[in-house]
Amino acid sequence: MNEGLLRSNPFVMQAPDLPTSLNAIAADLAEVVGKARCVVDPADLRTYECDGLTGARVRPMAVVLPETTAEVAGVVRVARRHGMPIVPRGSGTGLSGGALPVPGCLLVVLSRMNRILAVDLENRRMRVGPGVINLDVSRAIAPQGYYYAPDPSSQSVCSIGGNIAENSGGAHCLKYGFTVNHVVAATVVLADGAVVEIGSEAADPLGYDLIAAVVGSEGMVGIVTEAVVRLLRTPELTRTFFATFPSTDEAGACVSEIVAAGIVPAAVEMMDALAIEAIVKATHVDWPLDVGAALLMDVDGTRAEVEHTAAAAVAIARRTGAIEVRMPKNDAERALMWKGRKSAFAAMGRISPNYYVQDGVIPRSEISKVLREIATATAREGLRVANVFHAGDGNLHPLVLYDARVPGEEHRAEKVAGEILQICIRYGGSITGEHGVGVDKAKYMGELFGDADLETMNFVRCTFDPERAFNPNKVFPTPRLCGDVPGRYAPHAVEANDAVGRG
Ligand SMILES: Cc1cc2nc3c(=O)[nH]c(=O)nc-3n(C[C@H](O)[C@H](O)[C@H](O)COP(=O)(O)OP(=O)(O)OC[C@H]3O[C@@H](n4cnc5c(N)ncnc54)[C@H](O)[C@@H]3O)c2cc1C
């Protein structure tokens, strides 16, 4: 996935000149977490060289696996005393290099802090360690009729800490909102080892909403060591339907009309012909291969509401050109349909040796036009692109297919992936919907934001972490804040509209 990316765009950062030897650092770290949870052997460190952005690899100087907030604070103090940068890591499934080590860093792996600490169903809150796996939150409370809404496709492996750092989304975030809408409080270890409580379990706390500054901060303000998440009641009824269309044009029109009609589906996912082919080959779902696109949609709520809205949504699908509309006959069939969708990235391996996952956002109404531009840009490079995405949010995931064994293909795939982001910006969208900026997209930040915006963001970050100890050289383009900024800044479509409005 995204293999080879940074080979042609190297992530360059010198390891800091450490005043002390690795042995001295290891001894100090082992004093906090014990020898067994402190990794310094070069062979063992290779496990932690990359996250889901596998083309970028940097070996950390040391890795620790703390189990408590006090241990996290202790290792942070040791790292800072020795002048080491710090990179937090959850499950390492991130796709933008957020958990990629930086040279000479201490990698703090939070996966052992995976306990559910308190469940308060009366107030619909759960306190968890950052290493708790997303799906385990819902599993723990499903018997009582509750669940945790944000559901990234990686939910069976990714951690709540990683979700918080990336403000992760998922199929059902259209109706229920992203991680930021479901985390109410966090315990955070700052760069000087101080432990602070941010947010509140109570509704409507006083003061600035600092939890919103932590969620989506890509591990750059501190290490989350506990989080309080919001729980929802499992809806009384969920109706799922799968509709096929001649092309993504009709499927896109269907999504726009459904939302314009005031229906808020829990999820609307679109797959194009190539994505359907890969999914069918990988998961054996019984989906037709002679269609141009498909939508997988959930409508949920009370029985009375769902019967009404599902019927209205199906009628719109038929009116906008659906070839066929299928309802799953039972829970097993429904689960298989969703398994198909959620396995889509991995399924690409069935139709291509390599693929590059892109993540961009566009206004929902522009889906058809943007998909056509993406297809043209990809074809120009002699490559194929599969699309599988959160259509209701306009959050695209074009998967640029290539064969790394063919000289030049990898480079052309990277080029197209960059062009896709530029198309998203031109249509008034953004360079990431949910996978974050990390190291992968830092160079595009300067195309989306002006100097003043970037400086303001950095100012907020430095309020928490003045020395930029956490995740240095990520998210922000340099050299403005330390690296290079290819491409010229042009006003974003929203700014341009504002200017027209003001004029
Ligand atoms: C097949 C696949 C499907 C995916 N589908 C989706 C999807 O539908 N939606 C989506 O949003 N994402 C998706 N992702 C991306 C990824 O799973 C998410 O970004 C996820 O939130 C990362 O969690 P993690 O535990 O793996 O974090 P990591 O990759 O370990 O870290 C991610 C970032 O969080 C920081 N971090 C981790 N833990 C902490 C902590 N405790 N405190 C502070 N910072 C921390 C790291 O420094 C890094 O910047 C997908 C990935 C894969 C491989």
Residue indicated by tokens 């005393």: 81
Rounded distance, CA 96 to CA 111, Å? 19
* 443 closest CA partner among 410, 491, 476, 481: 476
Of 166, 218, 439, which is best to mutate to test ligand 1, by the most ligand atoms within 8 angstroms of its C-beta? Answer: 166
Smallest CA separation from ligand 1 atom 27, residue: 162
Grouping H, G, I as helix, E, B as strand and the rest as coil, residue 356 is strand
Q: What is the pLDDT of residue 120?
A: 97
Of 168, 182, 196, which is best to mutate to test ligand 1, by the most ligand atoms within 8 angstroms of its C-beta? Answer: 168
Q: Are strands 106-109 and 86-89 parallel, antiparallel or unpaired?
A: parallel
Q: What is the pLDDT of residue 489?
A: 45
Residue indicated by tokens 């972490």: 465
Q: What is the pLDDT of residue 55?
A: 85
User: Is residue 483 exposed (0-12), middle (13-18) or buried (19+ Cβ within 10 Å)?
Assistant: middle
Q: Distance from the CA of 92 to the center of ligand 1, in angstroms? A: 7
Q: What is the pLDDT of residue 378?
A: 97
Q: Distance from the CA of 99 to the center of ligand 1, in angstroms? A: 8
Length of the chain: 503
- Find the helix or strand (DSSP H, E) in which 109 lies: strand 106-109
Grouping H, G, I as helix, E, B as strand and the rest as coil, residue 23 is helix
Answer yes or no: are the C-beta atoms of 436 and 94 closer than 8 Å.
yes
pLDDT averaged per 10 residues, the chain (length 503): 38 52 94 97 95 93 98 98 97 97 97 98 97 98 98 96 97 94 98 96 86 96 98 96 96 93 94 97 94 97 93 96 96 93 94 94 92 96 96 94 95 94 96 94 93 94 95 84 42 54 41
The pocket around ligand 1, CB under 6 angstroms, is made up of 51-52, 87-95, 98-99, 110, 130, 152-154, 158-159, 161-163, 165-166, 168-170, 218-219, 223-224, 345-346, 434-435, 471
Counting atoms of ligand 1 from 1, which one is nearest the CA of 218?
49
Answer yes or no: are the C-beta atoms of 448 and 431 closer than 8 Å.
yes
Taking residue 122's Cβ as centre, other Cβ atoms within 10 Å add up to: 6
Of 67, 75, 89, 183, which is best to mutate to test ligand 1, by the most ligand atoms within 8 angstroms of its C-beta? Answer: 89
Distances (CA, A) of 56 to 16, 97, 439, 458: 19, 7, 9, 24
pLDDT digits (tens, 9 = 90+) for 82-137: 999 999 999 999 999 999 999 999 999 999 999 999 999 999 999 999 999 999 99
Strands (E), 350-481: 354-357, 360-361, 384-390, 395-396, 398-402
Q: Which two tokens stand for residue 474?
A: 């990520």
Q: Distance from the CA of 88 to the center of ligand 1, in angstroms? A: 11
Counting atoms of ligand 1 from 1, which one is nearest the CA of 90?
30
Taking residue 3's Cβ as centre, other Cβ atoms within 10 Å add up to: 18
pLDDT digits (tens, 9 = 90+) for 362-393: 998 899 999 999 999 999 999 999 999 999 98
User: Is residue 234 exposed (0-12), middle (13-18) or buried (19+ Cβ within 10 Å)?
Assistant: middle
Q: Is the dihedral of CA 5, 415, 250, 301 positive or negative?
A: positive
Distinct helix (H) and strand (E) counts, the chain: 17, 20
Phi, psi for residue 396 in degrees, rounded to 5: -80, 145
Rounded distance, CA 175 to CA 229, Å? 17
**Long-range interactions of 258-263: CB distance < 8 A, separation 24+:** 258/297, 258/313, 258/316, 258/317, 259/364, 259/392, 261/312, 261/316, 263/299, 263/309, 263/312, 263/313, 263/316
Q: What is the pLDDT of residue 465?
A: 96
* 220 closest CA partner among 485, 466, 478: 466
- 235 torsion bin: left (phi>0), alpha (psi -120 to 50), beta (else): beta
* CA atoms lying within 13 Å on the CB side of residue 16: 21
DSSP assignment letter at 9: S
Phi, psi for residue 297 in degrees, rounded to 5: -130, 140
Grouping H, G, I as helix, E, B as strand and the rest as coil, residue 377 is helix
* 295 closest CA partner among 334, 252, 359, 243: 243
Rounded distance, CA 387 to CA 278, Å? 11
User: Is residue 132 exposed (0-12), middle (13-18) or buried (19+ Cβ within 10 Å)?
Assistant: buried
b/e string for 88-108 if b means 16 or more Cβ within 10 A? bbbbbbbbbbbbbbbbbbbbb
Smallest CA separation from ligand 1 atom 50, residue: 154
Q: Which two tokens stand for residue 383?
A: 């490559």
